[in-house]
A and B are shown apart, each in its own frame.
Chain A
């Protein structure tokens, strides 16, 4: 497959892996966090840990929009479908995420709610046009990458006067989450989570550019290498981070030059700015309330805001106390440190959010990482 196989080449992987082995200082342990679930998935799917020296430790960050969505928001989505009788359109990987009492969209669908899996938010708008007598809500989730399409669809809905369409907005922002991790006492004061550098987001950075990460490298003295989601991208980024640590530098480097520019996609950014504004705070599973980390629909598009159109009951949904997802998402623990991992919590029956999406750290460990070397 052109433009894909080039970035999955085994021979090249071996070469970069050798370069990494030669570059690492044997007396040092390197701790790098890949922020994005897409990177976590690539690391496990292609077996990257087998190619790395033992003194490189990867910490799997909170960059999976499915994993970080709090129970209360899932409860609200279910409420929209069940109590308000809307046609709820959702991306596939949201369908199995458990809300309160382990209820999920999939279970609500089985009970008779009209919940439809869509591949694109434009499908949701089409469904709205095809069902003019029903309210249709798009369950919008995701980081900066999925926000522009949602913005575009709201613009279209207004232009085409699709009155029965609205968006339940759960879009979140990457830089504020990275700040929260770096500001957390475990990282800043207690040193429980040694963090020597970040692999910066791939697709998110195509929108926001590499510039927003400059702050982290300067303020917190952490190197950041923005990398694509292909396995060679990840390996190359690790090599670049090792070199920065060895040289004592902390700059933002861009490995993903084929798609990321310093300023990102101006058109997409202005589209997002037209439709959305910051929420004062937004709850993340694992990180709690994070200031200025989520988006809501601006007042001028209020008619397309499901939170304005429908009265939603505030949910008090709480995570299972034994679930270590919050600590795993902050890099304090690994999936194997959780008592529920692989016993009460499996991909078939997930307790915590990190087990739900294939991009979550627990699911990646469970599905790809349990093999025994012969």
Chain B
């Protein structure tokens, strides 16, 4: 049973940490955006786009969490009985997206908030502001990929 608990812990962390990161990131961009919109209400649409960017890590985390649940049978209804080793393996598989998701969401939030500052001054540069923020996304995607590959590679 202990292995199953560890695997569940992995699922929980995969959802929790990127979720926290995304919340922080989105919140930060939201604050900066609110500042800009106070002075210039026309910028709402553009800033909203930037605010959404750090939200993706939370989704990746949730996706990974679902995958784990599906793999260990939480969703199917018949919970697998895992060994401690198998449980740790699942936890490890969750680690990339959990950690990278947390940090990349925060940093992406910072980049996006800076982007908000950029479009406050130069609205025509929205594309560039998005690109800068999206560069951070790469690493969240890579870690999601790693987590998924690990999960599918495990034989449970």
Asked if A and B bind, the verdict is: no
| Chain A interface (Cβ < 8 Å from any Cβ of B) | none
Residue positions of B touching A, CB distance < 8 A: none
